[in-house]
Amino acid sequence: MTIVRDVMTKDVKICAPHDSVTAAAKIMRDINCGSVPICEGKKVVGMITDRDIVLDCVAAGKNPGEVHCHDCMTTNVITCSSDTDAHECAKMMADHQIRRIPVVDSGELVGMCAIGDLATINIHVNEAGEALSRISEQQLH
């Protein structure tokens, strides 16, 4: 059985709630991802996506350097623990139409599991592909 701890990224880049959305966008650019966890200390309080920034800031004509992450972030964050089964993590991604899940142990961020992390394990390629397919399907409607 493969668990999330075996595949997750441990060095997670984060933003604080009062950081600008420009700071979050730069992290997304630098690590080539579409979302960043928003943390107070090591506690996940939200997630911000490139889509959040575009819709809530750019399209609204706001200055990304002046808008804070807490103004655009999602607060109902889906998380898993480091001992979550990788199959279950793939199912969570599909069920919630998300591509990255913060990994939280004892209330603290310890990693991030992305759909690409699951796809690197041969046994999970079909599940990761299915999860991505279901995520993409939902976004088309």
> Does residue 16 surpass a pLDDT of 70?
yes
CB 9 within 8 A of CB 117: yes
Mean pLDDT in residue range 130-141? 55
Q: Helix, strand or coil for residue 63?
A: coil
pLDDT band at 130 (very low <50, low <70, confident <90, very high): low
Predicted pLDDT at 136: 56
Confidence band, pLDDT 50/70/90 cuts, at residue 1: confident
Provide the pLDDT for residue 118. Answer: 84
User: Could you tell me which CATH number the domain at 4-140 has?
Assistant: 3.10.580.10
Q: Between vectors from CA 30 to CA 28 and to CA 36, what angle results, nearest 5°?
A: 25
Q: Model-level pTM greater than 0.85?
A: no
26-48 per-position pLDDT tens digit: 999 999 999 999 999 999 999 99
Residue in 23, 17, 21 with CA at minimum distance from that of residue 43:
17
Predicted confidence (pLDDT) per residue in 59-111, tens digit: 999 999 999 999 999 999 999 999 999 989 988 998 898 889 999 999 999 99
Report how far residue 54's alpha carbon sits from residue 15's, in angstroms, rounded to the nearest whole number. Answer: 17
Q: What is the DSSP letter of 42?
A: T
* pLDDT of res. 124: 45
Please state the domain extents for the chain.
4-140
pLDDT for the residue numbered 125 = 44
Predicted local distance difference test score (pLDDT) of residue 119: 78
d(CA 106, CA 40): 15
